[in-house]
């Protein structure tokens, strides 16, 4: 049996009529960039996520650095983030011209460790950029308190955690901005590149609207800017998919509970932690195991497309930081441990019971062999 890591075409086939309908609406409208479909999707996304403003941009990386720029964070400023994240989080800090300060994660959740953040703060620190890694919210109440105490901005990198929530708190509640990526492998994905910035701050909204469109607030008027827009075809795809995101998240959670139950007796692996009261959206279902590379090969050989997220932490990449501004603050032992032991099992709403059972069976077989 083969179990793929993604269900992109299954998802498309399930709601083909809705997606095709929106694509054809855009094509017939004759308006493909910053047109009515983008406006419609921005309004829909802002409402769904309970934020005042939503600005569609070119991709999730741009969403991060445009947010930094809109907050006047750049050269000489330090931004604290995870050492264990997808590489783009750190790239975005460099694109904005700022210094990336990498700190360790919590050993249980793998999310950024608030104590490590506080220890890393200097008089150059301007922002904290926590990642909701694998789909579970970082400890935002503690991070917001630290930020307020030290006068720092918070930008949540929510590329992996869309539709998630904490225990008694919402994403973005006390942050300057929340960003996401709409690339297909994310929980809400389009058929190309896309990203978004959510904010409750009208200045951030207006600034990013200008920056993404050649610094242009009105025809023929420009200030320093860029080109980074979410196009209307992608907005149409996302608008159709948005209506299903809650159900899709619930399906992911359902599969996670099946894995939890099916694998609870395996002694050679650790299962992901779902904190009490948190809506973990399981962008990834990441287990930990000592013989990770062998286990990965075993699963791959059995037809299961397991992967690693991420087997090389940012500071472990060869040649890091390539002359860019970076500072490692404190020990990164937990991030390194995570890189060495993480293994992601297939996780998407369109999995079948048969596929999930097969993955469980093979993981158990592997576990038995570990003795
Ligand atoms: C995917 C991802 C990004 C980057 O998104 P792109 O749309 O590929 O630019 C940034 N941060 C995290 C945590 C991600 O997972």
Q: Per-residue pLDDT tens for 141-153?
A: 999 999 999 999 9
Structure tokens at 321: 């930081």
Which residue spans of the chain are classified as CATH 3.90.1150.10?
Answer: 245-370
User: What ranges in 71-194 are assigned the alpha helix state H?
Assistant: 88-95, 114-120, 140-150
Strands (E), the chain: 53-57, 78-82, 99-103, 125-129, 153-157, 177-181, 195-199, 269-270, 285-289, 326-328, 342-345
Q: How many angstroms separate the CA atoms of 361 and 266, rounded? A: 11
Ligand 1 proximity of 181 Cβ (cutoff 6 Å): yes
Which residue out of 56, 79, 86, 91 has the highest number of ligand 1 atoms within 8 Å of its CB and is therefore the one to mutate? 86
How high is the mean pLDDT of the chain? 98
Give the residue whose CA is nearest to atom 6 of ligand 1. 60
Ligand 1 proximity of 59 Cβ (cutoff 6 Å): yes
pLDDT at 34: 96
The CATH topology of domain 8-242 is 3.40.640
Q: Band the pLDDT of 38: cuts 50, 70, 90.
A: very high
Q: Band the pLDDT of 90: cuts 50, 70, 90.
A: very high
Distance (angstroms) between ligand 1 centre and the Cα of 187 equals 12
CB atoms within 10 A of CB 57: 30
pLDDT at 102: 98
Mean pLDDT of 65-82: 98
Q: For residue 353, give the H/E element and its range.
A: helix 353-369
Ligand 1 proximity of 195 Cβ (cutoff 6 Å): yes
Ligand 1 proximity of 65 Cβ (cutoff 6 Å): no
Query: 15 with 240: CB under 8 angstroms?
Result: yes
Ligand 1 proximity of 60 Cβ (cutoff 6 Å): yes
Mean pLDDT of 123-144: 98
Query: 133 with 159: CB under 8 angstroms?
Result: no
Q: Band the pLDDT of 59: cuts 50, 70, 90.
A: very high
| Residue 159: pLDDT over 90 | yes
Q: How many angstroms separate the CA atoms of 121 and 117, rounded? A: 7
* Position in ligand 1 atom list of the atom nearest CA 59: 7
pTM of the model as a whole? 0.98
* Phi, psi of 46, rounded to the nearest 5 degrees: -60, -45
Q: What percent of the chain has pLDDT over 70?
A: 100
* Position in ligand 1 atom list of the atom nearest CA 185: 1
Ligand 1 proximity of 134 Cβ (cutoff 6 Å): no
Which residue spans of the chain are classified as CATH 3.40.640.10?
Answer: 8-242
pLDDT at 146: 98
Distance (angstroms) between ligand 1 centre and the Cα of 60 equals 5
Q: Band the pLDDT of 53: cuts 50, 70, 90.
A: very high
pLDDT at 140: 98
Alpha carbon separation from 124 to 74, 152, 323, 327, 371 (Å, rounded): 11, 10, 19, 12, 51
* Position in ligand 1 atom list of the atom nearest CA 181: 7
b/e 197-236 (16+ beta carbons within 10 angstroms → b): bbbbbeebbebbbbbbbeeeeeeeeeeebbebbbbbbbbb
Q: Band the pLDDT of 3: cuts 50, 70, 90.
A: very high
Looking at 3.80.10.10, 3.30.750.200, 3.90.1150.10, 3.40.50.720, the CATH number of the domain 245-370 comes to: 3.90.1150.10
Distance (angstroms) between ligand 1 centre and the Cα of 342 equals 19
| Residue 371: pLDDT over 90 | no
CB atoms within 10 A of CB 97: 16
Q: How many angstroms separate the CA atoms of 166 and 186, rounded? A: 19
Ligand 1 proximity of 22 Cβ (cutoff 6 Å): no
Say whether 247 sits in a helix, a strand or coil.
helix
Q: Band the pLDDT of 70: cuts 50, 70, 90.
A: very high
């Amino acid at each position: 049996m083969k179990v793929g890591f993604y269900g992109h075409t299954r998802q498309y086939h399930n709601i083909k009529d809705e997606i095709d309908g929106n694509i054809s609406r855009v094509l017939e409208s004759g308006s493909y960039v910053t047109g009515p479909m983008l406006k419609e999707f921005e309004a829909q996304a802002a409402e769904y996520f309970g934020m005042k403003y939503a600005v569609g941009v070119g991709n999730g990386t741009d969403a991060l650095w445009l947010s930094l720029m809109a907050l006047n964070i750049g050269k000489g400023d330090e931004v604290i983030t995870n050492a264990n994240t997808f590489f783009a989080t750190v790239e975005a800090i460099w694109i904005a011209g700022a210094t990336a300060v990498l700190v360790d994660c919590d050993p249980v959740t793998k999310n950024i460790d608030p104590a490590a953040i506080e220890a890393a703060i200097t008089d150059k620190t301007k922002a904290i950029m926590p990642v909701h890694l694998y789909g579970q919210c970082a400890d935002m109440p503690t991070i917001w308190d630290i930020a307020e105490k030290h006068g720092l901005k918070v930008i949540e990198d929510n590329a992996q955690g869309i539709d998630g929530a904490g225990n008694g708190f919402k994403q973005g509640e006390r942050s300057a901005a929340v960003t996401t990526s709409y690339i297909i492998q994310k929980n809400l994905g389009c058929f190309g590149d896309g990203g978004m910035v959510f904010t409750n701050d009208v200045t951030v909204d207006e600034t990013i609207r200008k920056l993404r469109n050649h610094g242009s607030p009105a025809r023929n008027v420009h200030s320093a800017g860029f080109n980074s827009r979410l196009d209307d075809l992608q907005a149409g795809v996302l608008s159709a998919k948005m209506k299903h995101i809650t159900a899709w998240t619930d399906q992911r959670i359902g599969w996670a509970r099946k894995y939890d139950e099916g694998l609870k007796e395996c002694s050679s692996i650790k299962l992901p932690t779902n904190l009490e009261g948190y809506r973990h959206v399981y962008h990834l279902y990441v287990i930990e195991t000592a013989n990770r590379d062998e286990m990965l090969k075993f699963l791959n050989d059995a037809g299961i497309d397991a992967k690693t997220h991420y087997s090389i932490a940012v500071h472990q990449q060869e040649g890091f930081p390539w002359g860019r501004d970076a500072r490692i603050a404190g020990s990164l032992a937990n991030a390194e441990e995570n890189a060495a032991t993480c293994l992601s099992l297939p996780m998407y709403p369109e999995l079948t019971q048969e596929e999930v059972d097969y993955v469980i069976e093979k993981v158990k077989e592997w576990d038995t062999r570990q003795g």
